[in-house]
Amino acid sequence: MEAPVASSVKNTRSRRSTGSPRWRSRVPSNSSSAGSALTLTGVATGTEPLAYQWKLNDADIPGATGSTYTLASATAAAAGDYTVVITNAGGSVTS
């Protein structure tokens, strides 16, 4: 059995004000083996527009700006902690 590639999704507190994003469902912890697909989803409500930024080990993942992040074929380089920051004019929430 191969070692997990994506080991965890971190959950942290958020900055909020009226109309700021709120979690509808949090990103669950997930793992995937090398070569397998990995899909993470963050669902929030709040005043539109909502902007998403996925991160790996606290670094932005270029182009990962949707509510879902998918790796078609995970590699060892994809191992680590994933978070998604969702922002709008009222504040932000981080998974």
CB 21 within 8 A of CB 52: no
Interatomic CA distance for residues 41 and 29, integer angstroms: 11
Q: Could you give the CA distance from residue 10 to residue 29 in angstroms, rounded to a whole number?
A: 8
pLDDT at residue 60, as a whole number: 98
Confidence at residue 29, expressed as pLDDT on a 0 to 100 scale: 58
pLDDT in tens, 32-80: 778 888 888 888 889 999 999 999 999 999 999 999 999 898 888 888 8
Q: Give the count of alpha carbons within 13 A of 72, CB side only.
A: 0
Is residue 9 pLDDT above 60, yes or no?
A: no
43-55 pLDDT, tens digit per residue, is 888 999 999 999 9
Q: Which residue has the higher pLDDT, 8 or 80?
A: 80
